[in-house]
Chain A
Amino acid sequence: MKGIILKNERLNDKYRLMEIESPEFVQTAKPGQFVMVKTGLQDYLADPLLRRPFGLVDVRGNTFRLLYMLVGKGTRLMTESPAGSVIEFSSSLGNGFKSVKNQKVALVAGGVGIAPLLWIAKLLKDDGCSVTLYFGGRNQEDIILADEFRPHIDKLVITTDDGSVGDKALVTVPFGQDVKGFDRVYACGPKRMLEAVSGICVKGGVPVDVSLDERMACGMGACLGCIIYVREGEETVQKRCCVEGPVFDGSKVVWESVCR
């Protein structure tokens, strides 16, 4: 699919927010899904070769948004794609988050893991849930989009490693203290954080869904490059992060096999 970049906004040195117009794409997209993106600057013969996976921030009218962190050559090229230029991407991929009604829900985000949580926050709120967002980052730079969340959440708890905004703590500390008050948890962020959040939820007896970022080549289930391991009863089974995920039951993920 193709779309037109309406905005490619610099949030700070580390993050950008891209808004893309594509009437075709928005019809099928669901919260928690992702897209494989290729900028117009990526020539088939030049680098980088593969498309890059990004979670959907939200869909508004005919547009959708991506929040991206500058990592390497693919994301660098995305910064160089100006408003008005064309961008290519896959249809919306993977299984997303499922909304629930009238429950007490916690969202736990680490850094860029905030990206796929905005849309589900909106849905949860519309479905009568009370929503608390626990948002952790290294420093102030990582605390992005928080203002956009405010209308859709009841409470916001921010932590940073250096205390530059919110409490100086890991996000798992305040979340761990409150966990028993929730019916359900959705989390996205670094794997170590997701492992800790899942551990806390299992102990507290609260169901937890985590969104995992495995390295992906195809994004559509063919290459088997994105395998993660989950427990099904007594067995440990393989799942493709791109097709059976990226959202998995955090209590079932075999963290030793995915954490590196």
Chain B
Amino acid sequence: MSVLKVNICGVEFKNPVITASGTFGYGLEYARFIDISKLGGISVKGISYNEVKGNPMPRIMETTSGMLNAIGLQNVGVHKFLKEKLPLLRKYDTRVIVNFWGKTIEEYVQVAEVLDNADVDMLEMNISCPNVKEGGIAFGSDPSMTAKVVSECRKAISNKPLLVKLSPNVTDIKPFAKACEDSGADGISAINTLLGMAVNIHTRKPYISNVTGGLSGPAIKPVAVRMVHEVSKVVKIPIIGMGGIIRWEDAAEFFLVGASAVQVGTANFVDPELTLKIVDGLEKYAESQGLSNISELTGKVDLSK
């Protein structure tokens, strides 16, 4: 399958299909149902320094061609993750990306320092979760804050490539991408969920206890494709594209607008085998297009009139 082999920030992936943070647990949840070694990589649930219990229920609701979630970044904390989850996950032949976050710059740095010395392939800073009041969204919605938190983490991370995951909940994503590149990010992940809301007209109450939630799934794909396209125009570092990918055709679209790899999120809930189908579909497509490697597709959107 060498046609699908990609190198992102110096790390080789057997294929460019990675499961998105928060939609694949710590990888192990799905190992019973699919062969996770066939995945290019797994981005684990966002890890913080201390354990986090998340938001009250209900936390999820399906919407048209998508879903809202307000999980609230529930996770076991970095130490428990390294002790109890990572060793089991490392038994599989797939790249492990650790998505991480903090409520303050200090907390970001704290968890980054621990992960920098852990047996993981890559780090992905989440500066864009719409479901936590502190940190999260604040860092991802002000370019100067983005620059600050990324450069502080960069200082703390010397052994691993650093991805920064951007928020789509901004008017213009370009300055954020640029701020990441200028502050030392090795790559960009885009996009996180879009802030949304749904109301039950009978009870007149929001379906989600947090009132608003993050929208994901096919409903957001056009927004995500547009944003990856915009980011690719302002940065030279690799972009991992995501948002609504459910078929290989969706993944190919992200490559064309500038992605070097993709992440698949909500589709894992729809059917855990979809990621593997996307791998197969992309391979056949690349071959049918006469490519020697899928990366030849990156940024090849034809904008001519």
Contacts and interface: CB of A to CB of B under 8 A. Distances in A.
A201 to B, nearest CB: 24
Contacts of B64: 47
A50 B71 contact: no
A216 B60 CA distance: 8
A91 B247 CA distance: 22
B65 A258 contact: no
Contacts of B45: 224
Contacts of A50: 62, 67, 269-270
Given A49-B66, A214-B57, A258-B57, A225 B71 contact: yes
Contact of B270 (A49, A216, A243): A49
A220 B31 CA distance: 10
B65 A223 contact: no
A38 B60 contact: no
B271 A222 contact: no
B74 A224 contact: yes
Given A227-B57, A227-B59, A221 B29 contact: yes
Interface string B23-45: 11100011011000000000001
B67 A238 contact: no
A238 B53 contact: yes
Given A38-B271, A49-B217, A220 B71 contact: no
Contact of A217 (B29, B56, B65, B69): B69
B61 interface: yes
Contacts of B62: 48-50, 217
A225 B268 contact: no
Count class of interface residues, chain A = 20 to 34
A161 B247 CA distance: 48
A258 B66 CA distance: 24
B54 interface: yes
Contacts of A227: 54, 57, 59, 74
B247 A217 contact: no
A182 B280 CA distance: 56
A169 B25 CA distance: 44
Q: Please indicate which of the listed interface residues B30, B33, B269 has the most CB atoms of chain A within 10 Å of its own CB.
A: B269
Contacts of A215: 58, 60-61
A49 B218 contact: yes
A242 B66 CA distance: 21
Given A47-B65, A49-B67, A223 B23 contact: yes
B25 A222 contact: yes
B175 to A, nearest CB: 32
Interface string A190-215: 00000000000000000000000011
A34 to B, nearest CB: 15
Nearest to B219: A49
B59 A224 contact: yes
A37 B60 CA distance: 18
Interface in A211-253: 214-228, 238, 243
A256 B24 CA distance: 29
A202 B45 CA distance: 38
B246 interface: yes
Contacts of A222: 23-25, 29-30, 268-269
A217 B67 contact: yes
A227 B209 CA distance: 13
Contact of A88 (B29, B65, B67, B271): B271
A223 B69 contact: yes
A177 interface: no
A217 B59 CA distance: 10
A29 B270 CA distance: 21
Contacts of B65: 45-47, 49
B58 to A, nearest CB: 6
Nearest to A52: B62
A49 B57 contact: no
A92 to B, nearest CB: 12
B281 interface: no
A47 B271 CA distance: 14
B293 to A, nearest CB: 27
B266 interface: yes
Contacts of B67: 49-50, 217
29 contacts: A38-B270, A45-B246, A45-B247, A48-B62, A49-B67, A49-B217, A49-B266, A50-B67, A50-B269, A50-B270, A51-B269, A215-B58, A215-B60, A215-B61, A217-B67, A217-B266, A218-B269, A219-B269, A220-B29, A220-B30, A220-B32, A222-B23, A222-B25, A222-B268, A224-B54, A227-B59, A238-B53, A257-B56, A258-B57
Given A219-B269, A223-B69, 13 more contacts: A44-B274, A49-B62, A214-B57, A217-B69, A220-B32, A222-B25, A222-B29, A222-B30, A222-B268, A227-B74, A238-B53, A238-B74, A257-B57
5 A-B pairs with the lowest CB-CB distances in the bound complex, closest first: A225-B60, A222-B25, A221-B29, A218-B269, A222-B29
